[in-house]
Amino acid sequence: MSGSNSSIRTPMARARGFGSAKRGTEHFWAERVTGVALIPLTFVLVGVLVFLAGKDHASVLQWLANPLLAIPLVLAIATGTHHMKIGMQVIIEDYVHSEPIKFGALMANTFFSYALGATGAFAVLKIAFGG
């Protein structure tokens, strides 16, 4: 046995404990579902921006106070930031190999995504409720 692998563990036993920890499928589907949800929400967002382009400030505030515009905008912000968080998480997990740096990057990604989403949603809701 000299010079060979002296472990009596099978390759499967050595591989256990590594990999996605049974969360890979969840991330895969979350990325796909949020991506599909963003298709109509992006059309709404672009349509609203094109429609409101050139309007005065008071008109923009009046239109954004309408729930038929405010709700899809908040949904677009929430879905977009969640999609961004998941996508960046996959990139960090795949390409950052130092565990302390990976942990810090994943925390920063989570905090940034939630802060961005909350800020965007707050802005739309503040306008919608006339604050």
Residue ranges covered by each domain of the chain: 23-128
Q: Indicate yes or no: pTM above 0.75.
A: yes
pLDDT in tens, 49-105: 999 999 999 999 999 999 999 999 999 999 999 999 999 999 999 999 999 999 999
What is the rounded distance in angstroms from the CA atom of residue 111 to the CA atom of residue 114?
Answer: 5
> Would you say residue 2 has pLDDT above 70?
no
Distance CA 102, CA 96 (A): 6
Give how far Cα 44 sits from Cα of 52, 76, 79, 99, 127, Å.
Answer: 12, 9, 13, 40, 18
Topology of domain 23-128, per CATH?
3 helical TM bundles of succinate and fumarate reductases (1.20.1300)
